Amino acid sequence: MSFAAVDVIRAKRDGGVLSDAQIDWVVDAYTRGQVADEQMSALAMAILLRGMTDAEIARWTAAMIASGERLDLSKVARPTVDKHSTGGVGDKITLPLTPLVAACGAAVPQLSGRGLGHTGGTLDKLESIPGWRAALSNEEFLAQLGDVGAVICQAGEGLAPADRKLYALRDVTGTVEAIPLIASSIMSKKIAEGTGALVLDVKVGTGAFMKSVEDARELARTMVELGRAHGVDTVALLTDMNTPLGRTIGNAVEVQESLDVLAGGGPADVVELTLALAREMLSAAGLSDVDPADALHDGRAMDSWRAMIRAQGGDPDAPLPVANEVEQVRAERSGIVASVDAIGIGLAAWRLGAGRARKEDPVSAAAGVVLHKRPGERVAAGDVLYELRADDPARLPAARQDAASAVVVGDGPAPVRPLIIDRIG
């Protein structure tokens, strides 16, 4: 059945519910180039403003999955479980989490993406390791999943191509925040990859796409229901993103902090969230009797990391890139750090070259921000609050301006925010 694109746009613009046939047609026609970018842009804006019913979202997701191939992981001997984060600042959790869960007996088929704007990308971080490659064939992906139990790579060209095309369009048309489109984008790829279970880390706060707990909870609920409708056991944690995770924001600096965690150390918040997500993943994989903390402390997680990096051509012993320019920003007064705003620090890292404004832009492996002080820590006048790192000194002034008001020093104790806000599912 064929439709006129303008009729589909008008139906949603006027608050109507799209039929299954309309959704199937418009997703397929756009993927094949029969619906123009400007028409899909108008429809995406109508969806942002008018929303979608649960039935519409489910059908839209199914149409995205049907636009490409669906991987079969049934021959993988271990139970499969994946994790997805909606994106944040300093969010390096995938790096220690994937080998940790693999070290505990599950297989983790982690298809990841690149950063855009102030949010970092897992693939960008890993590409700071000499030799490591993000692109794997389906055969390489399945072989590594069976041998090592851990894969972090980019999605293949055949996986949900409708999402790849629509994602790029949403980014340049101001429709990224549409909950139906976020949910279908994430879940179409995760369902198509064939994982048996999925744990979602839905960020909420100034450094996240979801600024309010209510919106984050709605997104989490929508994705959990989509996963379960497609036979994927899915749960979600709502986690705070008002403050950057850990002390590093960038690429190579986040890899180094992840290595600290895998060695049994690292910042307390990164360790807490890594272990919380690991326990959820292991429970979903039927391995709830395994304590992931043991694998961090006895070296198994680090061994799994090294095997994963080697399998993708990387050298786990190679030194990581170091920035040419380092500028230290010092406290003007004594007191206690009251807050570190995630969006200000994330934008500063982006200005320094750690992120990109467009998908085709290059990133600097060495650029980023290193926090010397976090909320609740005492500081004396003249102490270093944070470092700005860049390859190009011309990038420092704009980053300095973005970060200038991000770290607030006060007199009293800092407000305590729970890292894990809620669990959905």
- Give the model confidence (pLDDT) of 166-206 as tens digits: 988 887 888 888 999 999 999 999 999 999 999 999 999 99
Cβ within 8 Å of residue 282, ≥6 positions away: 81, 101, 104, 105, 106, 288, 290, 292
pLDDT of 360 strictly over 80: no
pLDDT mean across residues, the chain? 95
Amino acid type, 153: C
pLDDT tens-digit series, residues 285-332:
999 999 999 999 999 999 999 999 999 999 999 999 999 999 999 999
What's the CA gap between 49 and 35, in Å, rounded? 21
**Topology at the third CATH level for domain 5-51:** 1.20.970
Residue 356 binned pLDDT confidence (cut-offs 50, 70, 90): confident
As assigned by CATH, the class of the 325-410 domain is alpha beta
pLDDT tens-digit series, residues 298-310:
999 999 999 999 9
Cβ within 8 Å of residue 273, ≥6 positions away: 93, 201, 239, 245, 419, 420
Contact 284, 233 (CB under 8 A): yes
In 32-137, alpha helices (H)? 37-50, 54-66, 94-103, 122-126
Nearest alpha-carbon partner for 60 in 179, 210, 146: 179
**217 backbone dihedrals φ, ψ, rounded to 5°:** -65, -40
CATH of domain 81-311: 3.40.1030.10
Contact 251, 368 (CB under 8 A): yes
Q: How many CB atoms within 10 Å of residue 121? A: 22
Domain spans in the chain, listed from the N-terminal domain onward: 5-51, 81-311, 325-410
| Percentage, residues of the chain above pLDDT 70 | 100
DSSP state of 2: -
Catalytic center residues: 84, 163, 170, 185, 189
Q: Say how far residue 148 (Cα) sits from the centre of its chain.
A: 22
Going along 81-143, which residue ranges are E strands? 81-85, 108-112
